[in-house]
Structures are given as C-alpha cells and as structure tokens.
C-alpha cells in the first residue's frame, strides 16, 4: 500500500511539475484547438453541430466529474464565492465561443475565419488597456502585428493580395463575436478562484453544459435532435471523444494555467498558433497539400511570439 501511495504521489508531483511550464502548456493548447478545427470539418455531415457541442461538453463533464468531486468539496468555500465567474467561463468562454464558430462555418470561408481569429490578441490588448489600464509594450505590439501577418499568410495560402477581396457577412460577424467572447474569457481569468485545477474544470464544465443545452434548445432544434447520436458512426463517436478530452479539458486547463503564469497579453499571442497547427493537421489528416508558405508563416508566427515575449520579460 505504501508503494502505491508513493507512486501516486510521484505521479501527482510529476503532473504538477508539467503544469509549471507555461510555454509548453501554451503550445499544446493551440495544438489541440487546431485539432478541434480539423475535427469540426470531419464532423460535417456526420454529427450535427449543436449535437456535437452538447455531446462534447456532457462527455467532458462526465469524464472530469469523478476526479473533480473530492476537490470540489474541499474548495467549495472559494468556488461558492466565485460561482458566477465559473459559470461564465463555461457557458460563455467554452460553449458560446464554439457555438459561434460552428454557426459561422455555414456562412463564411475558412480564409475569413482564420483572419478574424487573429484578432483575439488584438482584442485582449485593447480591452486590457481600456478596462484595466494595462499598456502593451512597443515590442509586444510589434510582435502581435508580426504574428498576425503570419496567420494571414496561412489564411490566404501565401497570397496576401486576396485580403483586398475580403468582405463581411453573417458568418464573419459570428467569428468576430466568437473572438470577442474568447478575449473576454481570457481577460476575466484574473478572477479565477484559487482552487485545485480539477475543481476549476469540474465547475466550469457545469457552465459549459448549461450553455450547450441553451444553444441546443434555441438554435439546434431541441433535445429531439439528440436522436442523431443513435445512428452516429464510429467516426462520429471518435470525433466526439477527441473534442471532449483534448480541446475541452486539456486545452482549457493548459491555457488557464498559462494565463496565470505569464498574464493574458502574453498568453493570448500563442492563440495565433491555432491556424498554423490546424494547417499542419489538415495536411496530415485531411490530405491537403503542404506548401512552402506554410513553413514561412509558421516561422513568422513563432518569431512574433518570441519578440513579444522578449519584450514582456524585459519589462
């Protein structure tokens, strides 16, 4: 029994040490989110979007519940004082963000969506200044601009001239709304209660399920549409399993930990890796062609992140 406890303590210590590396966490989070974009493409015609949203967060809540309950009981005083924020993180930061992206896919192009999602760090910088009077450093702003250029290069397939034909429609506005939502989530993580990470995940997953139910009832045709799960193929269940575990649980945990370690302005820059990873995974899983501009854009994005981070560390 003593050996088992020692091994368990070692595993816990090892995972805690892993969570202490913000740059690794903030790289893995967009990797899994990039995979979420590929999963969404694979789900078209396989799992209805709001059914996928509902199944994703219900499954995530059920997975994390057995592990989080003991910590939820212990951390209840701190969680109770911040329960509104925890529901906000789940319902808005998790469910509403993905609901907007799922809906936008029906109206706008992938190029538009990718360009618009590069606005997240811009929204974070502006809101941080307007609300909290946190000023971005000059090199940090330059780093943001550089990363956006890299993202735009990926989004336009190496031809930046296509930006001149950029037009807004309902889908574009939905993506921008999603970016605003996620910027708000990023900024408000400063109000996250001091609690075990499993308590945080367990509580926010409740909010995510509430948000998913809302979107299913209002936009997804109600609970009757869940009958689609009865005829879902193994591919559909594999997609649900992926989005329930990696983007829903691990990415959210990793990003929250990263924001806590280095702040919202610096952490939000790593979101620009999402389209880069999404492109790479699309090549590997969707058999799309890998072009030279993919490598160039990835190098630009990384350079922008490094520059902004260097500026923040100097400050």
The string of pLDDT tens digits covering residues 55-73 is: 999 999 999 999 899 999 9
Domain count for the chain: 1
**How would residue 2 be classed by pLDDT, with cut points 50, 70 and 90?**
very low
Distance CA(287)–CA(76), nearest Å, equals: 48
pLDDT higher than threshold 60 for residue 260: yes
Mean pLDDT of the chain: 82
Residue 18 lies in a domain: no
**How would residue 41 be classed by pLDDT, with cut points 50, 70 and 90?**
confident
Phi and psi (nearest 5°) for 108?
-120, 170
Hey, which of 7-16, 85-94, 110-119, 264-273 has the most confident mean pLDDT?
A: 85-94
Which residues neighbour 52 within 8 Å (Cβ) at sequence distance 6 or greater?
Answer: 40, 43, 102, 239, 240, 243
Per-residue model confidence (pLDDT) at position 3:
46
**How would residue 157 be classed by pLDDT, with cut points 50, 70 and 90?**
low
Per-residue model confidence (pLDDT) at position 115:
63
**How would residue 215 be classed by pLDDT, with cut points 50, 70 and 90?**
very high
Residue 19 lies in a domain: no
Per-residue model confidence (pLDDT) at position 112:
64
Least-confidence region, from 15-29, 159-173, 213-227: 159-173
Residue 195 lies in a domain: yes
pLDDT higher at 244 or 5: 244
The helix-helix angle for 292-314 and 274-286 (nearest 10°) equals 150
Residue 121 lies in a domain: yes
Q: How far is CA 42 from CA 48, 49, 105, 175, in A?
A: 11, 11, 13, 19
Per-residue model confidence (pLDDT) at position 10:
47
Q: What is the DSSP string of the chain?
A: -HHHHHHHHHHHHHHHHHTT-HHHHHHHHHHHHHHHHHHHHHHTTTS-HHHHHHHHHHHHHHHHHHHHHHHHHHTHHHHHHTHHHHHHIIIIIIIIHHHHHHHHTTTS-HHHHHHHHTTHHHHHHHHHHHHH--PPPHHHHHHHHHHHHHHHHHHTTT-GGGGGG----HHHHHHHHHHHHHHHHHHHGGG--S--HHHHHHHHHHHHHHHHHHHHHHTS--GGGGGGGGG--HHHHHHHHHHHHIIIIIHHHHHHHHHHHH-HHHHHGGGGGHHHHHHHHHHHHH-PPP-HHHHHHHHHHHHHHHHHHHHHHH-
Residue 3 lies in a domain: no
With tokens 């993919």, the residue in question is 294
Per-residue model confidence (pLDDT) at position 160:
76
pLDDT higher than threshold 70 for residue 15: no
Q: What tokens were used for 221?
A: 């045709």
What domain range includes position 162?
A: 24-314
Residue 187 lies in a domain: yes
pLDDT higher at 282 or 92: 92
**How would residue 186 be classed by pLDDT, with cut points 50, 70 and 90?**
confident
């Amino acid at each position: 029994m003593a050996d088992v406890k020692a091994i368990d303590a070692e595993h816990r210590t090892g995972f805690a040490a892993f969570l202490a590396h913000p740059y690794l966490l903030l790289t893995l989070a967009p990797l899994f989110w990039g995979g979420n974009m590929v999963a969404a493409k694979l789900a078209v015609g396989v799992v209805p979007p709001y059914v996928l949203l509902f199944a994703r967060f219900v499954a995530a809540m059920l997975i994390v519940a057995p592990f989080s309950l003991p910590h939820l009981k212990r951390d209840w005083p701190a969680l109770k004082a911040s329960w509104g924020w925890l529901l906000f993180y789940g319902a808005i930061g998790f469910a509403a963000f993905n609901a907007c992206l799922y809906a936008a896919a029906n109206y706008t192009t992938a190029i538009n969506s990718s360009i618009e999602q590069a606005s997240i760090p811009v929204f974070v910088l502006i809101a941080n200044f307007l609300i909290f009077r946190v000023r971005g450093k000059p090199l940090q702003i330059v780093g943001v601009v550089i990363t956006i250029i890299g993202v735009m290069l990926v989004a336009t397939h190496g031809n930046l001239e296509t930006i001149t034909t950029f037009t807004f429609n309902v889908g574009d506005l939905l993506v921008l709304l999603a970016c605003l939502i996620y910027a708000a989530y990023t900024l408000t993580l400063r109000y996250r209660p001091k609690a075990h990470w499993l308590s945080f995940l367990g509580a926010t997953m409740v909010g995510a399920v509430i948000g998913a139910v809302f979107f299913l009832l209002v936009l997804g045709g109600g609970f009757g549409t869940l009958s689609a799960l009865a005829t879902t193929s193994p591919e559909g269940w594999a997609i649900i399993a992926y989005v329930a575990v990696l983007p829903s649980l691990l990415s959210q945990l990793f990003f929250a930990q990263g924001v806590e370690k280095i702040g919202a302005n610096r952490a939000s820059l790593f979101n620009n890796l999402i389209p880069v990873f999404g492109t790479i995974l699309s090549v590997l899983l969707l058999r799309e062609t890998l072009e030279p501009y993919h490598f160039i854009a990835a190098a630009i994005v990384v350079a922008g992140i490094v520059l902004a981070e260097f500026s923040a560390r100097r400050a």
